[in-house]
Amino acid sequence: MRFLVMGAGSIGSVIGGLLSEGNHEVCLLGRDPHIETIVRSGLEITGIWGDRTVTDIMAVTTPGDVIVEGFEPEWIILSVKSYDTDSALCDLRPVLSEARGIISLQNGLGNVEAIERTVPGKTVGGRVIFGATTIKPGSVNVTVCADDVLMGPVRTGPTGIESVCESFAASGIPCRYESNIVSYIWDKVLYNVCLNALATVLGCSYGELGDDPETKKIIEYLTCEFYEVANAEHVETVSESPGAYLERLKNLLLPPTREHRSSMQEDILKGRRTEIDALNGAVWNLGLKHGIKTPVNETLTRLIHHLESQS
């Protein structure tokens, strides 16, 4: 298969690098100096899935370079930040029409809807719940994995997604097909809503949030607000109730990510924009749409915006 990875940061580079090592044609589209280093020295992947250096992988910095190189992707993987989805799709227009599908492996709400608006019938939803960091240009480290990558069609969607999942798994990326992918996208958003902003404001790990009775109560409030909004949006949640989700978070989701610190913390430290508006901010705005009060999500959204303005 031929994959174009739009947004070759930490997660995108890991996925693209392992697919390339699995004998698929891959083009990474990202920024220098990361891309420049990959072209010169290869992509180094370390961490819990093993250590290797992937060479002979195409890596470019502009969509125009993809066309110049004559690369015709079958599948486009979007791993850009949620606020860059529309601009990424605009930049990719020359290659969108020929691709079989566009796979959103992103955080937050609104990404699959943006793809569906742009190229109806080609949208593949995805849920990524492994973590990776960029150690230095050309080098990424897989730090944690709470569950398989999930992929499935949104609305009509394209065919062949099962084969993509098999290709991921055979390349060393735990992955499985999920027909009800929208529920799992919302489920990942809930995980981020509970942990990312709160851990960023407090400067702590996910495990510390789960250990303290005060922060556990805040997580409970965030979950209840989320469920009110999800019910109003007629979303079928993975866990049937806030209580059921909180038990799953405590027993299954938090343990393997206890030491993890959110990428939102890194964004604030490096003076970058965060994805808060697609996470807690999305819950707040959907609450406004339905007349539902979401004061805890609103407060965290405002606090993160304050931190963004100070960095």
The residues carrying an active-site annotation are 188
Rounded CA-CA distance 114/119 in Å is 9
Decide: helix, strand or coil at residue 100. coil
∠ Cα 268 198 307 (to 5°): 30
Nearest to 96 by CA among 114, 119, 77: 119
Q: Say how far apart CA 115 and CA 305 lie, in whole Å.
A: 26
**CA distance to 7, 122, 200, 239, per residue, from 245 (Å):** 31, 31, 22, 5
182 and 244 in contact (C-beta within 8 Å)?
A: no
Which residues on neighbouring strands pair with residue 134, listed in sequence order?
Answer: 140
Closest to 286 (Cα-Cα) out of 196, 156, 202, 193: 193
**SS3 sequence of 7-40:** CCCHHHHHHHHHHHHCCCEEEEECCCCHHHHHHH
- In 10 A of CB 50, how many CB atoms? 10
**Contact criterion met (CB below 8 Å) for 41 and 51:** no
258 CB neighbour count, 10 Å cutoff: 14
